[in-house]
Amino acid sequence: MTVTGTESSLVDDLLDGKHRALARVITKIENRSPGYRDIVSALHTHTGTADVIGITGSPGAGKSTLVDKLAKSYRDRGETVGVIAVDPSSPYTGGAVLGDRIRMASNVGDMDVFFRSMSARGTLGGLSTATADAVKALDAFGKDKVIIETVGAGQNEVDIVKTADTVCVLVQPGSGDDVQMLKAGILEIGDVFVVNKADMDGAERTVAELEEMIHMRENPAAGLDTGHHGPVDEEEMAEVALDEQDEEAWDPRVVETVATDATGVDELLDTLGEHAEWLHETGRIDERARTRYAEEIRQLVRADTAGLLEEVIEARGGIEALADRVLARETDPYTVADELVEPVRECVDEELER
């Protein structure tokens, strides 16, 4: 895809390391402004060098403070950082409720730490795509580390954080409900688990619970009873599990931190670095990228197709008129859907027959 005019200048300026151009490109991406797709396409060949880290966890776990300290520690090591903070959107303006929060206190005035809040703007599926595009812009700009911070740990946040190479899940001590919640699915995406506020009561128990859950994830048969067949021989099951395990598989880690005073942050950085090395040494980095691109293509195709069908709906008098016909029993939803999709189906059939 060829970029011309203003978009071309923006791309050139971004690749030349101009922060103003980076900010303008991410604004275009977030707003889905005309020309943003051409820009992202032009930047794609310049991506693939940044380590992308996703930080998720329930509200109150201390994500923002930890991200601030992570960025500071990376800078102390001479690396540049980009942070995308995904915030809930305002029902009035569509903008991030918390805006560009003053939460990167340790990095104020440091031009090598680029921080940006992004808003859901009512379309969480679109936000995951916008986040991925913003990460590409930061990557092409030359940031060594790109951190994605989500506001929570629900399914929407999980979808967004999948944009990352390494996923870091924060849990606060004594939060039994949070640990139980992990069993619902987020445990499956975590590469590193962080018990933040580790100076609080209950930290040791939370660490133990997480380690037990990770053990169960790696060996689902652990602790099971076979009923009338008698109890499982744990030593035998362990040997079977080892045989079935991928020898190159990553062993999720649990790290304790106190983000307010940066305790444990260096250990966390080392652990994140170890995971990045593992990704490259085993070739899993390409596997993850392939999976992400496949899903990105699907999302874009679904969104583009939906946009085309909206045009067909408007040409048929609008969705309200179609709903009125169904209400009057003149037709039914399935028949309406078939009629709307028919032009697209004809085009697809023609393409497949070529």
Q: What is the pLDDT of residues 211-258, one digit of tens each?
A: 888 887 766 655 555 444 455 555 554 554 444 455 678 999 999 999
Same domain, 316 and 266: no
Q: What is the pLDDT of residues 307-341, one digit of tens each?
A: 999 999 999 999 999 999 999 999 999 999 999 99
pTM comes to 0.83
Q: Which domain holds residue 305?
A: 301-353
Same domain, 24 and 56: no
The pLDDT of residue 97 is 43
On whether residue 123 sits in a domain, the answer given is yes
Same domain, 268 and 211: yes
Based on the structure, what is the number of domains in the chain?
3
Q: What is the pLDDT of residues 97-150, one digit of tens each?
A: 444 444 566 666 678 999 998 875 545 556 788 899 999 999 999 999 999 998
DSSP H helices, the chain, are 5-15, 19-31, 36-44, 63-76, 124-141, 155-161, 176-182, 203-218, 234-244, 265-282, 284-315, 319-327, 333-353
Same domain, 247 and 337: no
Q: Cβ neighbours of residue 118 under 8 Å, at least 6 residues apart?
A: 26, 30, 84, 85, 86, 87, 96, 127, 130, 131, 134
DSSP state of 98: S
**Is residue 169 pLDDT above 80, yes or no?**
yes
- At 122, the amino acid letter reads G
Same domain, 26 and 53: no
